[in-house]
Structure 1
Amino acid sequence: MFNLFDIKGKKAIITGGAQGLGFSMVEAFYKSGVEVAVIDISDEIFNISTKLGAKDGEIHPIKGDLLNIDSLRQAFNEALDKLGGTVDILINSAGIIDRKPAFECSLETWNRIFGLNVTSVFELSRLAAAEMKKQGSGKIINMGSIVSILGGFNAAAYSTSKGAIVQLTKSLSNEWAQYGIQVNAMAPGFMLTAMNTDLANDPIRKPQVDGRIPAKRWGTPEDVVGVALFLAAPASDYVTGTLISVDGGAVAR
């Protein structure tokens, strides 16, 4: 019987997979039978196979600096080669934040955040889509945030970059749906990851956040993977150009 959620045998590239949400997605896709190439700047990617008990050829760690376009393209080409020249799924999970007031955010910081959170997503998506177009199918999943919708606080650069991801997702979807490529984005809410450690430990901001979440708890990386698997599966073949919040109801509040 045809399984709308079966992605076994597919090939995926996941960026930022060394930790946090990215690592959880690497784990979920690997356990779903997907061959995964992981691109990250951290040496921790070389420990992923051991952590997950993966055999040779099931997970391919590739170290690359996505802020450097030459390094990005080299990393993508290496990933594509490791996957045998085919990519079915691209998950743009890598991202950075620098929480500080707008007056204290340097243009260097602004450009660095946009370089990773937006520019690298644009270029990787184009590279992947060029390959997906050849086979007439593909799934691109971008990482937005609830601040793609809500205004950020002490995070103007990050919030603006995540707002840009929504428009990029819609625009690429408009162009590439005709080739059988679905482009969607997820909007995680307040997640218990290293990126939010400072916020979770802030005696003023944490109670404010707690009061904003109807589910009465912060999210975990495991909360996000179900939506990622749906967006990568045949079940979402007619879903494109959308942003799905995974936030315990925070945006609805």
Structure 2
Amino acid sequence: MADLALFDLTGKTALVTGGATGIGLGLAEGLARAGARLILNGRRRDVLDSAVEALRAKGYNVAGAAFDAADPQAVDQAITQLAAAGHQIDILVNNAGTNRRGAMNQISVDDYAAVIRANVDTAFIMSRAVSPAMIGRGSGKIINICSALSKLGRKNAVAYAASKGAIAQMTSAMCDELGGHGIQVNGIAPGYFLTELTQVIKDDPQHNDWLMKRTPAARWGEVEDLAGAAVFLGSRASDFVNGHILYVDGGLTSVMG
């Protein structure tokens, strides 16, 4: 039981961007099951409220914070308001993101920029806003959501792969900058998980068949598969783990295609 106490998040507060749906919601619930108080972030108040109500119905301590994580002024205002309300952010999960699929010479520059803004800029802006208080306390956990495409290339995903490669490198740089202040910065790199963003792949028989043959586990990931990784990287159990990207991908990135 003493060893299991290392994973206990009781008394800790976790802010999860893009936490109202999909992978973000699954990560949030995993942290809540380990005892964390939750602050879910999202831009759509109706979707956010539904997620908050659903988690509260399960008995979790959760609040919503509606703001655009890519807007520096909105982020600074939100973090200031949360601090004034007594919310100390112990764990930041940079999960907000999007994807725009298409061949490189077909997607627009605006679509490319939108992916970078949602997937990369948000992590920088949020970490910049939250880390000063963590530095002051000498402790904190930042978890950046990377991807199997942080390592692999894939056609029709140039913008997404660029963004997730950037997040992996940002994790390394943030580790070097913040590690001496008692802050651990790590990444979780999911493989293929069935969400609204990936349904189009599941519906493509050729792509789905390729994925099943490429992944040793021979299945899609379920959001519950990410909970353990989030709890580990958010807890005292990972106090000497820094700058690491934890691939949760059923073995996808470990084998030849």
Q: TM-score, normalising length from structure 2?
A: 0.93
Counterpart position of 1:49: 52
Counterpart position of 2:194: 192
Counterpart position of 1:127: 129
> Do the aligned partners of 2:70 and 2:125 also contact (CA within 8 Å) in 1?
no
Counterpart position of 2:219: 217
- Please identify, of 1-10 and 185-194, the stretch whose mean Cα deviation from structure 2 is larger: 1-10
Counterpart position of 1:26: 28
Shift of 1:36: 1.1
> Do the aligned partners of 1:96 and 1:116 also contact (CA within 8 Å) in 2?
yes
Counterpart position of 1:247: 249
Shift of 1:176: 0.6
> Do the aligned partners of 1:110 and 1:157 also contact (CA within 8 Å) in 2?
yes
> Do the aligned partners of 1:62 and 1:78 also contact (CA within 8 Å) in 2?
no
* Aligned counterpart in structure 2 of residue 77 of structure 1, from 64, 67, 80: 80
Per-residue deviation, residues 186-216 of structure 1 (Å, max 9, x unmatched): 1100111111000110122111111110001
> Is 1:14 equivalent to 2:29 in the alignment?
no
Shift of 1:56: 9.9
- Alpha-carbon distance change, 196 to 104 in structure 1, aligned in 2, over 3 angstroms: same
Counterpart position of 1:117: 119
* Aligned counterpart in structure 1 of residue 146 of structure 2, from 128, 132, 144: 144
Specify the code of the residue in structure 2 equivalent to 1:60.
A
**What is the SS of the residue equivalent to 1:12?**
strand
Q: TM-score, normalising length from structure 1?
A: 0.95
Per-residue deviation, residues 98-151 of structure 1 (Å, max 9, x unmatched): 111111111111111111111110111111111101111000000000000000
Shift of 1:77: 2.9
Q: Give the fraction of aligned pairs with identical amino acids, expressed as a percent.
A: 37
Specify the code of the residue in structure 2 equivalent to 1:63.
A
Specify the code of the residue in structure 2 equivalent to 1:68.
D
- State the distance in 2 between where 1:57 and 1:244 align: 26
- Please identify, of 169-178 and 3-12, the stretch whose mean Cα deviation from structure 2 is larger: 3-12
Q: CA RMSD in A?
A: 1.7
**What is the SS of the residue equivalent to 1:26?**
helix
- State the distance in 2 between where 1:206 and 1:199 align: 6
* Aligned counterpart in structure 1 of residue 203 of structure 2, from 182, 201, 204: 201
Q: How many residues align?
A: 252
Shift of 1:68: 2.6
